[in-house]
Amino acid sequence: MNTNHRRSISKVMAGVLVALASVASAAPAEAHAIAAQGNASSLLSAASSTLPTGTWLYTVTIPSPDSADFVFQGNETYARDGGYSEADQLSFSPGYLATPGHGTWAFVSGRTFLLTYVNLTYDASGTATGTGKVRQRATLDRSGNTYQGAGDFFYYDTTGAAVFNGTFTITAVRIDVEAPQ
């Protein structure tokens, strides 16, 4: 290969590298500029309107045929790679303790997704009592800022035998970024 040909290839490659670098830095620069203008929430909401990724405040209702329904709240985070974590008020009830839940989620179709998570349970003295498992199907609204769903839950003793189960409904509201006043 002659020297002129090598120089031409080097110039073309340098141009390609400069172009790639400018494209790669454009999105973070735009996001930074939008965030600086106070619109980070809008950017994040627009990007996630069809994904449950992010953090949510949820309300669960467990129906009771004998008395009032049991209602509690929790916080949950859906990771883009399918990971999930949550903590709720029920986990700190007297006589019942549980670790935060960890699990996975996946899309079924459209805006509908499935979730399964597990937590470890304890009695009031801190002795392990088993595990809990929750399975849920939910659908995001068109804005991507709320969802509704239903599912079932199971509690297992330390031998893996099922000791209690039931169903629930859930509603959730996305927690967006807010600037302090």
Please list the pLDDT of the chain residue by residue as tens digits (181 residues). Answer: 544 443 433 343 333 333 333 333 333 333 333 344 444 444 444 445 689 999 999 999 999 988 899 999 999 999 999 999 999 998 888 777 999 999 999 999 999 999 999 999 999 888 999 999 999 999 999 999 999 999 999 999 999 999 999 999 999 999 999 999 9
Query: Within this chain, do residues 118 and 158 fall inside the same structural domain, yes or no?
Result: yes
Query: Within this chain, do residues 75 and 29 fall inside the same structural domain, yes or no?
Result: no
Domain-located, residue 103: yes
Domain-located, residue 46: no
Query: Within this chain, do residues 11 and 68 fall inside the same structural domain, yes or no?
Result: no
3-state SS track over the chain = CCHHHHHHHHHHHHHHHHHHHHHHHHHHHHHHHHHHCCCHHHHHHHHHCCCCCEEEEEEEEECCCCCCCEEEEEEEEECCCCEEEEEEHHHHCCCCEECCEEEEEEEEECCEEEEEEEEEEECCCCCEEEEEEEEEEEEECCCCCEEEEEEEEEEECCCCCEEEEEEEEEEEEECCCCCCC
- Global pTM reads 0.73
Query: Within this chain, do residues 147 and 69 fall inside the same structural domain, yes or no?
Result: yes
CATH of the domain at 73: 2.40.128
Q: Residue 32: give the domain boundaries.
A: 3-37
The tally of domains found in the chain comes to 2
Query: Within this chain, do residues 65 and 100 fall inside the same structural domain, yes or no?
Result: yes
Query: Within this chain, do residues 161 and 75 fall inside the same structural domain, yes or no?
Result: yes
Cα gap 10→17, rounded to integer Å: 10
Query: Within this chain, do residues 64 and 141 fall inside the same structural domain, yes or no?
Result: yes
